[in-house]
Amino acid sequence: MKGKICLLNEEGLRIDGRKLDQLRPIKIEVGVLKNADGSAYIEQGKNKIMVAVYGPRELHPRHQALPDRAVLRCRYHMAPFSVPERKSPAPSRREVELSKVIRQALEPALFLEMFPRTSIDVFIEVLQADGGTRCASITAAAVALADAGIPMRDLVAAVAVGKIEGKIALDLNHLEDQYGEADIPVAMMPGLDQITLLQADGLITLDELKEALKLAKNGIMQIYKLQKEALKSKYLESGEELG
């Protein structure tokens, strides 16, 4: 099954025309939801994802509150229409798992100890999925947290690298994820040069992993720049409106 789709052409270009080290086109918008404390929208390739952040706020039920820090809660959800075959609206095991993975990737960036006995809630809604949704969700969630004014050590940016037809490739789309030999989601606090998420699925050698991490870091630095530009443009617009 996996060998039936050609992921690279004779010129070494991928199905969507990209080179191995190219990101898909990315668009990030900040402050897109009026009723949330912070929000962001990201398009990465054909992925379309909305994130809303609420908090810090009183945590309910109260017995879940922690005396020394805030509780970060993440909910990753794929809309029923986000994939070609209609998905059940009920949370799947994969969504529950990715909610936890995204929370763990974001937590190191937040000063949770500044808000004891409260919760910070991150709601992620995948409107259209095309591979790499966990990484795009982390990227957008970090921007939404910054938009909400949550104190952060750094933004978190993420991208998936992988192996397709024996070559290391950046920012896998759905077909590359499905038919490639390896998929490695990576999240970092780029300014601090710290990895907050590293997963691997598939077969890859140590040398290939080193190459993949180097490629991931290059991609993450490009995404980090886009995150900062999106936040800056929102507040420049706000300043112009006030002026």
Domain of 230, CATH number, reads 3.30.230.70
Give domain status of residue 3, yes or no.
Answer: no
Give domain status of residue 182, yes or no.
Answer: yes
- What is the band of 4 on the pLDDT scale with cuts at 50, 70, 90? low
Percent of the chain surpassing pLDDT 70: 96
Give domain status of residue 74, yes or no.
Answer: yes
Give domain status of residue 8, yes or no.
Answer: no
Give domain status of residue 86, yes or no.
Answer: yes
Task: Indicate if the pLDDT at residue 2 is higher than 50.
Answer: no
Task: Indicate if the pLDDT at residue 63 is higher than 90.
Answer: no
Give tens-digit pLDDT for 112-171.
Answer: 999 999 999 999 999 999 999 999 999 999 999 999 999 999 999 999 999 999 999 999
Token pair, residue 166, equals 């024996």
Range in 23-32, 90-99, 188-197, 215-224 the model is least confident about: 90-99
Domain containing residue 151:
13-242
Give domain status of residue 5, yes or no.
Answer: no
Give domain status of residue 168, yes or no.
Answer: yes
Token pair, residue 101, equals 């993975």
Average pLDDT score over residue span 201-214: 95
Number of domains present in the structure of the chain: 1
Give domain status of residue 2, yes or no.
Answer: no
pLDDT at 241: 60
- SS3 readout for the chain: CHHHCCCECCCCCECCCCCCCCCCCEEEEECCCCCCCEEEEEEECCEEEEEEEEEEEECCCHHHCCCCCCEEEEEEEECCCCCCCCCCCCCCHHHHHHHHHHHHHHHHHECHHHCCCEEEEEEEEEEECCCCHHHHHHHHHHHHHHHCCCCECCCCEEEEEEEECCEEEECCCHHHHHHCCEEEEEEEEHHHCEEEEECCEECCCHHHHHHHHHHHHHHHHHHHHHHHHHHHHHHHHHHHHHC
Determine the Cα–Cα distance for residues 205 and 215; give it in Å rounded to an integer: 15
pLDDT at 1: 39
Model-wide pTM > 0.75: yes
Question: Beta strands 182-189 and 157-164: pairing type?
Answer: antiparallel
CA 177 to chain centre: 16
